[in-house]
Amino acid sequence: MDKSKQVVPLSQLAVGHTAQIVGLELKGLLRRRVQDLGLIPGTTVECIRRGPTGDPTAYAVRGTTVALRKEDANLINVYPI
């Protein structure tokens, strides 16, 4: 199975589903910040809730909850599990 064809942006992960981070397209300070929060390649992340307007979205990462705006989650590539 070719994983590269199934990689999607984190923002497309449905609530209740899990994925593994495969890469970050973020730049600069934001990239550093999300890495400090534990969003690094190989980490498992679960989409747990969306805001009332669909933005931001809360994700479970390494035992904590992280909220990301859709524009930022679009730049994090994941492989759905």
Bridging pattern class, strands 8-9 and 64-68: unpaired
Structure confidence at residue 1 (pLDDT)? 46
At 62 the three-state DSSP class reads: coil
Q: According to the model, what pLDDT value does residue 29 have?
A: 93
Which residues does 78 contact at the CB level (< 8 Å), separation at least 6? 7, 8, 9, 10, 13, 19, 20, 21, 22, 45
Pull the structure tokens for residue 23.
């890469």
78, 10 in Cβ contact below 8 A?
yes
pLDDT per position as a tens digit, 1-14: 455 469 999 999 99
pLDDT at 62 over 80: yes
Domains of the chain, with CATH numbers? Answer: 3-80 (2.30.30.90)
Q: Are strands 76-80 and 64-68 parallel, antiparallel or unpaired?
A: unpaired
